[in-house]
Amino acid sequence: MHLDRKTLTTMIRKPHSIIVLLFWAVAVSTVSAESPLPPESPIRPGDRIAIVGNTFADQLRIHGYLETMLLQRWPDNPVSIRNLGWGGDMLNARDRPTNFPAEEETLLAHRTDVIVGCFGMGESFAGEEGVQSFQASVDAWIKSLEGKTYNGKSQVRLVLVSPIANEPLGKLTPRHEQRDRELSAYSQAMSEVAIAAQVPFVDLYQTSRYLMDEPIGPNFTTNGIHLNSYGYWALSHYLFRGLVQDDLASPQPPWRISLDATDLTVQANGLAVSDTARTEAGLTFRATELIAPTLPPPTGEDLPPQLHHFRDSLTIANLAPGIYKLAIDDVSVVTASHDDWARGVTIDTSPAHQQAEAFRAAVNDKNLQFTYSWKALNQVHIVGERKKSPSGKALPAEVIEFNQLAQKRDAKLRDGIERQTRNWRVTRIH
């Protein structure tokens, strides 16, 4: 069912918890209630993951939000990811340059445990009359992976991810309604195949459609179908939860601290708070980071209410009237009024958040080194007239070196983000 703008706006006027529950249910849905879920989470600790598919998959490696979340999920046994996405890929049209290595070679080299397949966008341009053919292609692809043991010990697992919705951007998307019907049909077709094959399925179509209908916040895409950095930040949260849906019992981001300035009672998620004390100008406490912080969104604009749930926050009740500044380890983080603190203030520029952003940059650098080692950037040096040139002759050794760099970066990422105990100080400044 699709919610129009009027209906959604009405819902937003209801208590925020209801909205969160609605969008959480949409985000983590995989196969329907008619089919039992897999006995374990689609992605598991220590998994070696390959992401394949279209532009959506390809661009995941550039932004790094999903991979950073997955790496932080099991710091004691982190996953390892190779992104084999290729802009424009479809199940039956995955063209590669001459002499490009077969995908199976890379899957074997990575000792792949699970493949995350993102298809349906390119195929949807065949219109609704192409849905049946697409279903057959998805089914054939699933069957083609039966018995494949890229990790050398067990059959490779598979997760299917639907295409996103078509975002209405006025003149940029003149066929919006038709394209959205087509994308809905292809997403549903993929879901039906997943149910029949007992393959986990993450429905980003419905999630993205609800979010795109929201009047608050920036656009998610550049042209209706290609996500921008904000779109990848937002949808990566939902994709992450779909991929680890059966393993969400332990604490998850975001950080939540709720503190009463009168009696110093405190509730916290993601951090352990201790040594709470009043000062002449405010209060102080120590917070031990139990989990890594949530990555901040790449925008300064207001976000839709349903995305507030993905941001770290501090709430302080019963502060005396005034303006208060939060500093963490003497680093100024945010300034807000006592009323704002009572409602809850977003915390996403702390030293820990800066550390998390540096980690995401390291993820992106690893992906860049792997891309240099895997994707042909200049075919003429490989099979063309420059093959025997000095640069052409040097290319095989350079490819090996880039692969080694990627492996070294991957090993370094296993160290994760250092979780620390920091001093938080809230001081009245006006």
Residues 216 and 265 placed together within one structural domain of the fold: no
Domain edge (last residue) among 199, 215, 243: 243
Tens-digit pLDDT profile for residues 385-399: 556 677 656 666 777
Same domain assignment for residues 113 and 66: yes
Q: Which residues pair with 51 in a beta bridge?
A: 83, 116
Per-residue pLDDT of the chain (430 residues; tens, 9 = 90+): 344 433 333 333 333 333 333 444 444 444 433 444 445 789 999 999 999 999 999 999 999 999 999 999 999 999 999 999 999 999 999 988 777 888 999 999 999 999 999 999 999 999 999 999 999 999 999 999 999 999 999 999 999 999 999 999 999 999 999 999 999 999 999 999 999 999 999 999 999 999 999 999 999 999 999 999 999 999 999 999 999 975 555 546 699 999 999 999 999 999 999 999 999 999 999 999 999 999 999 999 999 988 988 999 999 999 999 999 999 999 999 999 999 999 999 999 999 999 999 999 999 999 999 998 888 666 655 555 556 677 656 666 777 788 888 999 999 999 999 999 999 999 999 9
Q: Are 124 and 177 found together in one domain?
A: yes
**According to the model, what pLDDT value does residue 271 have?**
96
pLDDT at residue 31, as a whole number: 42
Q: Are residues 308 and 235 in the same domain?
A: no
Nearest by Cα to 144 from 109, 117, 178:
117
The pLDDT value recorded for residue 20 is: 37
Its domain, for residue 24, covers: 5-243
Q: Are residues 36 and 174 in the same domain?
A: yes
In angstroms and rounded to an integer, the radius of gyration of the C-alpha atoms of the chain is 23
**Tell me, what's the pLDDT at 401?**
82
Where does a domain end: 219, 243, 267?
Answer: 243
Same domain for 206 and 291, yes or no, is no
User: Which of 243, 266, 295 is at the close of a domain?
Assistant: 243
Report pLDDT digits (tens) over 109-153. 999 999 999 999 999 999 999 999 999 999 999 999 999 999 999
305 and 423, same domain (yes or no):
yes
Whether residues 158 and 195 fall in one domain: yes
Tell me: do 327 and 291 sit in the same domain: yes
pLDDT given at position 246: 57
Question: What is the 3-state secondary structure of the chain?
Answer: CCCCHHHHHHHHCCCHHHHHHHHHHHHCCCCCCCCCCCCCCCCCCCCEEEEEECHHHHHHHHHCHHHHHHHHHCCCCCCEEEECCCCCCECCECCCCCCCCCHHHHHHHCCCCEEEEECCCCHHHHCHHHHHHHHHHHHHHHHHCCCCCCCCCCCCEEEEECCCCCCCCHHHCCCHHHHHHHHHHHHHHHHHHHHHHCCCEECHHHHHHHHHCCCCCCCCECCCCCECHHHHHHHHHHHHHHHCCCCCCCCCCCCEEEEECCCCCEEEECEEEEEEEECCCEEEEEEEECCCCCCCCCCCCCCCHHHHHHCCEEEEECCCCCEEEEEECCEEEEEEEHHHHHHCEECCCCHHHHHHHHHHHHHHHHHHHHHHHHCCCCHHHCCCCCCCCHHHHHHHHHHHHHHHHHHHHHHHHCCCCCCCEEEEEEEECC
Query: How far is residue 29's CA from residue 43's CA, in Å, rounded to a whole number?
Result: 15
Q: Measured on CA atoms in the order 261, 267, 269, 271, is the torsion positive or negative? A: positive
* Same domain for 273 and 200: no
| pLDDT of amino acid 247 | 53
For the chain, the residue count is: 430
Mean of all residue pLDDT scores within the chain: 87
Domain co-membership, 45 together with 76: yes
Are 294 and 190 part of one and the same domain? no
Residue 144's CATH number? 3.40.50.1110
- The count of structural domains within the chain is 2
> What pLDDT, on the 0 to 100 scale, is given for residue 253?
67
Report pLDDT for 381. Answer: 55
